[in-house]
Amino acid sequence: MTYDRTVRVDSDFTTTVAAVREALAAQGFGVLTEIDVTATLKAKLDHEMEDYLILGACNPPLAHRALAADRAIGLLLPCNVVVRREGDHTLVQALDPHTMVAFTGLEALRPVAQEATALLDAALASLVKDN
């Protein structure tokens, strides 16, 4: 099972991060958390790595519906979106929302996962279209 939805863009990392934030917002997602993996690993382990940022995105109506179906689903929220450099490209990867259904086996989550997938796919597609 593939658990990610990925697009490759030609823009630089900083430009891509800004575009991802805009694309998510246009689909009703806010960014609740941000983890700069590159800076964290450098500070804690003195490890050098490529630009790598994890954005914790949330669409409140979808989160509400998912939590109504299963209170423990918060363990799989928010929707994580990774922006990272790979060679001369930037990858944008989102966790496939259908992973919630596959992992939990709860059919009540399927409509939420379908809607979240459509919104995330629209956000990802806009990054490629604008590229």
Question: What is the predicted pLDDT for the residue at 99?
Answer: 94
The residues, ordered by sequence, that sit 6+ positions from 57 with a Cβ below 8 Å of its Cβ are: 24, 29, 30, 31, 32, 78, 79, 80, 81, 94
Instruction: Report the C-alpha gap between 26 and 22 in whole angstroms.
Output: 6
Residue 1 has pLDDT above 80, yes or no: no
Question: What is the predicted pLDDT for the residue at 86?
Answer: 96
CATH of the domain at 101: 3.30.310.70
- Residues β-bridged to residue 89: 86
- By percentage, how much of the chain surpasses pLDDT 90? 96
Question: What is the predicted pLDDT for the residue at 15?
Answer: 97
Strands of 4-9's sheet, edge to edge?
Answer: 4-9, 89-95, 79-86, 52-58, 30-36
Q: What is the pLDDT of residues 63-104, one digit of tens each?
A: 999 999 999 999 999 999 999 999 999 999 999 999 999 999
For residue 109, what are the domain limits?
A: 4-129
Number of domains the chain is built from: 1
CB 52 within 8 A of CB 40: no
Fill in the DSSP letter of residue 78. S
Vertex 115, ends 119 and 66: CA angle to 5°?
A: 115
* pTM score, whole prediction: 0.94
